[in-house]
Structure 1
Amino acid sequence: MPEIWFGVLGPLEVRIAGAAVAVPDGRPRQLLTALLLNANQFVSVESLMDLLWRENEAPPTARKAVQVYMSKLRQLFADVPQVAVRASRHGYRLDVPADALDLRRFRDIAARAAAAPPGSADPDATARLLAEALDLWRGPALAELTGTARGQRLSAALGEERIVATEARLDALLRAGAHRQVAGEAAQLLAEHPLRERLRGQLMIALYRCGRQAEALSVFEAGRQLLREDLGLDPGRELRDLHVAILNGTVEHLVPRVAATANLRPTPLAVQPVVPAQLPTDLPSFVGRTSYLDQLDGLVAAWSGRPSAPLVVSLTGTAGIGKTTLAVHWAHRIRHRFPDGQLYVNLRGFDPGAAPTSPGEAIQGFLDALPAPAGRIPLGLTAQTGLYRSLLADRRVLIVLDNARDAEQIRPLLPGASASLVVVTSRNRLTSLVTAEGAQPVRVDLLTAAESRELLAARLAPHRLAAEPEALDRIVGHCARLPLALAIVAARAATNPEFRLAAIAAELGEARGNLDVFDDGDRATDVRAAFSWSYRTLGPPSQRLFRLLGLHPGGIGTAAGAASLAGVPAERVRPLLTELARAHLITEPTPGRYGMHDLLRAYARELVDGHEPEPARRAAVHRLLDHYLHTAHRANRMLYPYRMSITLPDVAPDVAGERLGDKQQALAWFTDERATLLTAVEYAARNGFDGHSWQLAWTLATFLRRGGYWHGKIAAHRAALEAARRLGDRAGEAHMQRGLGVAYAGMLRYDDAHRHLVLALDLFAELADPVQRADVHHGLAWVCDRQGDHETSLHHSLEALALYRRIADLAGLAATLNSVGWTHARLGNYSEALRYCHESLVLCNEYDDDAYRANACDSLGYTYHQLGEDEKAVEHYRRAVELHRGAGSRYYETRTLTRLGDLFAASGDLGGADRVWREALDILTELDHPDAAEVRAKLDGGALAVPDRAG
């Protein structure tokens, strides 16, 4: 070892002349690790802050703190001439000798090994080099930095380098003929990394060369089963070819290709071609904008000569200028040029009452529309962006990104190598998008005077225009040729044909100047006159409702929500909403659902603050939050009746409820209101309604988990956790800790998941709540199962089972018995699996619940199939199908039918497989479910006619 040595491939290690150097704990150790990761390079202070503090948790004094920690590092190495700590306007830099850092040495040795050609005459030497490189690792890299999201990503990236080097070493050992050694090592590594297909292929080759052909085939089957259950994927082409070669005894000619592949990954199944058509309705009375339309058409004509690169057009301008109207109208004009469909999303970049739409949320919506089957959508924005761009690679799609806040919100939504067109609208100029992505900027300005008159003429009777041409010009002047203001005035004049245009123009002139200029730097427009004038012509009840809508945390939503906000019955609020919609003060994009332009909401907030006393405002917000909380609680009980409930406070007077007649309506309400509900959780926490915050987060938890909305669940539960702590509500805190643990597990942040779930377990123990403790053990079992740690998963399932037995919770007991049995089946303990699943089935029969009975029968069918007892498997599968139908569980019926078809195909009964797969396909097609593609692929001959057993 050199005289001075730094180690980041594990916990931070510093040695000078062989003696360990004590680096101060906490931030100084993290800072030194960050600098070593970028040794001999300047690192910006912002990058260092991202590694030292979690997102949004850096204190205002963070920059000063970094300076203090750097001073401590200078003192630490003051007497070490080989090490220099430098500062400049670019940030900070740590200079160390080239051979003094384990990460650099690891990469240097690995590069030397990689330089040897695959057919090298001395594979033993290559293996020794890689073993030397891997010996430098002492644990997960950058251990000090894994408390931040960026640090976790960097640690994971280095971990990938480690496993790739490990696989390369196994390749070299295979070429050297060390098959038994590889078989032992690869089996152990595969248990830690079960989804790495290159590793699985190496183990199959080693077993085959050791004369263990049956075991090699079992390794393939286990991998295929794991991929299907966890990811909904089939193995990649290379692994499938290797499987066939082992069956045929022709492995050797495939070995170089398999061994040389850097990282085999599963290939997604093809999805059913669907043409999305998400454009909003075109404006029937669209007028003018001819020069812009000609300019946009010219951009497309010039671009058509290089269709392999996407065209990005940015329409920018002040609020209310008509950017969206122009974009949607032009998109409808040219949509025939994009046969693969149109995508649209409102990014809410300037919504005053809600957070902007995150790129992850937008991409998830696009993946649903293209579609990418939900079961195969990866976790994490980077992976989702990759899948989104892959789906667009060979398509011509028109994408409208409306109301973007900045370029960073847009970039993940841009296609890669694609013949697609992206139209972006924003109040900002998006200069960096033009610079970096080559976007074509089009700045949208005010209507011309002629276009403004044409807009009014399209909406008013000709005789009124002819009678008062001067008044028409005055209205255009007072509205500053702003399309939104003109539309509001035109609506008022059209719905009141007895009003003279001169009187309307006079009122506009008197009110001019009462609304602040839009705050994007362009002070040429003023729409308060139009807004205030339209508002004053409303009846008093409609005026009050409009003011109160300024308190709404998200979109207006349904009439019941607006009625609760106003404290009036729903039947009385509907005429008021109709009056507001006619005046263009709110919109009704779909029947029964309402929205409001962000500028109008800002105006409504001005009014409510000026006209409603604070107690009245607080009472209105209380009613609205009660509406969402109690409606969500009722929908949650309808969808998940066996989930242990929480006790809510009494609902406030004058709160209107939604009409949710069945599970379908409850699910539709959750889906429509999801964004508003998530916003309401944080809104309640910010405005002193802490009880509403955590209770509403609790009611959303199951829906968000089953929908895979992990980002929203984490944000909501973090805000609600702080709310529960402020209240001193230990039960609320415990529920939020559990919800965060489950959400972090969904994001593959297992350390965070375990931490929050263990905290929840401790809190529920303190509260002496065995029901929730059992529920937390269930969550921990799920986390461990996702990690592939089935032994620990079984431990937690058994803990949950013991608690459910003690408290005689029949629903929890029935579900957990089946989960224990399923875990035993995953472990290959089929006799235990049968015992627990049969016990679950007996209890389900006593409990008289068809859905749980069906699940137990399905698990038994799976287990018997693994044992080769296909007659019993068929019997239980068919019983499960019957029970699913009785319970109305149509989707789960298709899963059982699909597995039953797989069994038939494996046994050679292709006619039976075809029959049940078609039954499943009919249901999935009716449900418009993406799993239809998987079943259709089976019917088209894509299924492998080999036993689907774990080995």
Structure 2
Amino acid sequence: MELRLLGDVGVWRDGRAVDAGPARQRCVLAALLVDAGRVVSTDVLVDRVWGGRPPQRSRETLGSYASRLRRVLADSGATVRRQAGGYVLRVPPDAVDLHRFRDLCARARAADDQRAAGLLTEALALWRGEALTGVGGEWAEIERDRLRHERWGAEHDLTDVLLRLGHGEDLVADLSARVAHRPLDERVAGQYLLALHRAGRTADALAHYREVRRRLVDELGTDPGAALQDLHHRILAADPELGTATTTSAPSVVPRQLPAAPGPFVGRRAELDRLDTALRDAGSPAGSVAVSAIAGVGGVGKTWLALHWAHRNVDRFPDGQLFVDLHGFGPDGEPMDPAVAVRGFLDALGVKPDRVPADPHARVALFRSLVAGRRMLVVLDNAVDSAHVAPLLPGTPTCVAVVTSRARQTGLVTGHGAQHVPLDVLTDTEARALLVGRLGACRVEAEPAAVAELVGLCRGFPLVLAVIAGRAQTRSGAPLAALADELRELGVEALDDRDPAASLPAVLSWSLRDLSAEQRAVFGLLGAAPGPDIGLPAAVALTGLSPARTRRALRALEEASLLDRTDDDRSAMHDLVRGCAAGTAPDDRQHEAVRRVVDFYLHTAHAADHLLEPHRQPVRLEEAPGVVPHPLTDVPAALAWLEREHPNLLAAQHTAVANGWHATAWNLAWSLNTFHLLRGHLHSALTAWRAALAAAEHLPDATTRTRARRFLGYVCSLLGRHDDATAHLDRALALAREHRDLAEQAHTHRQHALVGELRDDLRGALEHAGHALDLYRALDLPVWEASALNMVGWFTAHLGDHDTARAHCLAALDLHRRHDDPGGEAHTQDSLGWIDHRTGRHREAIGHYRRALALFHHQGNTYEAADTLDRLGHLHTALDQDDRAREAWQEALGLYRDQGRDRQVDRVLRQLGSRGLRGADRSA
């Protein structure tokens, strides 16, 4: 919101006037705005609003106006308050145009001439007509006249500054109007004389001096002052220090250097809006040129965006548009020297070659003088860094600069207040629209499947889409499906081209030129790292460097737009960039690095699994020299790490399989199993154990095949694939018996029991649970014995023998507690809750369920927590506690949906509907 006094008095929001009420109310607003932040007494306000004839109830009316103004100013950060016998308008100083104007003028008086010109230009741009327009009365007229003189003072100050900066001819027209309005003002007369002289109109300057002298003598009886007389003598003497038209006049040429915008243009609405915002902010209190820095990886469309926006707004820059490709990243090798670019700008601005200063600093000063106060656009394309750009930035806020670079231009953002405009790839919809624009709707619609595949393979990269479209246009008879086949089979190699500008590998390679050898090596290794992103600890393992050196390398790659920094401080690389990167590292070094990072993931996952299930039978891992697992202190830390790294862990197993690292592939499935079951990642578990089973065929230890079958069978059962589950478990049991492995026999019987329950074979399940219990006791494995006791109790309860069931579960609970097994205790508490529910001990059942949930939540076991919540909901319905039932079922419903358990989702929705609670399903 903006509060205006320098023009129509009022309140503006988003460029539109807000109704500030009747004229008297606007007068109150003006009277308070003039002294914003200071208490204005009621008497003074009454006098300002009504002059010498206030109405009888003026104070009450004043209070009413103040109250209405509070509503007008709502949500603006400004408010009218009654205080100390008067009123005060509390408002941010930069919200009132008058106070911004005065602040800019004060800053200009303390600044050098270049800066002062920008500040004063910005200050005068705040005037939108006569001050206090729309407000009448004696006070308003006096204040209006006073502010008019402030404006004139700023105009005179700006003219003096511009004259000191070498301007002349460009000031003549404006000064001519001023001298006509104030013919006896010697300051204006002196400015006019100097401007005429610099414009090559010395005779007119001398004639005007004679006219001013005549009028001063005739009307005031005095000669011109010493300053004007001295200027007259210097003009007569052709003093070279005054300057002439040949050295300092403004250019007569209006540059129009924008190249044609590549077409067609699609998407980028958010980025265009940000650039528009910078344009709207031009001339703001920042007092400097508005700069937007578009940053992104090579080929992502930075120049495309900049030129499209520039052409869309070309009418906003009537004084010209300058453009230069600085060659910061390209096939030519060396970036353009800024001094060369400035010389090009001076040529475009009409400066004669023999008048271009030899000194680079003088060239920059002349360039800024020539564009000062002009409405111009400067596009600096393909810059290296802020030092490459800084000499080419205009100095006044009437100008707008747009910079494109692969570097993120933090120097421009911090040192010049530039707006950072990061550029990412196109969406699938935008990518398809681009192909339609290049190839035509008919050709695109004729092969929808091929177009969909091309869009997916191009990953939204504008350069890649343009290359594909170009090839489709040059091979007009070839189907798009053939291009899709080529891109799918060859990957990045299909995007190479003899023309470097049309080759993605070549375009990306230019970004590596300014990187150190170490940074280029890290880039190549990151291209081969498994997973969609990478954190610093994993990157340290990958690179083999120290954390500090690794972080520096990552930061350099991010600055070069070859990496993206995610919200959680991780590094991610676009798929096509990854493909180019992977080919830049030597094979032997890449192989060693990938092995290190896969080992890092395995050893850290193994440590996390031990925290989640400390009573699980451990497996031994191979030594991993030079790999330091990420330290995990407790269960929450283990869960958080596993959640964050889950996609990378799955990718690490895939990498292990591809490289024939069979033990690693198996151990990753083992180390992830507890997490997968706790979180309900059943399809991930299925994939992991299938890979582990294949790897186990190459391992000498038969136990690996038994366990892989056992876990694969259990996961199949949870996914409803009961026949597959039974086949895997039968094979696991046979292998365990063949190798006389009693522990594996017990574990397999236990999981057979779980499959039996899922197949509604409770007696078969109870039989397997009994076998498992006997074997665990014989092996003296008390925690597993407790687990089997709970299972026996659970199945016995479902078969109707609740007393026997409770006894088994209470014995299990005692063992779990004695051996500090909170996970096993949670399952047993759940069993006891179900038993008490079925035997009418509802209060006790609620206690058991609540304790089970607390333990499940502590363990991060959302899979079992969902089932317990479902059972708790049924218990609450038995007690006619519908609100609590709804709460439990809604929480269960959310977990079931997250886990993709569709049958359970449908069941809970039916339960909510049967109780009339469906309408409250906020997660639907």
TM range (shorter): 0.3 to 0.5
Whichever of the two has the greater Rg, that structure is: 2
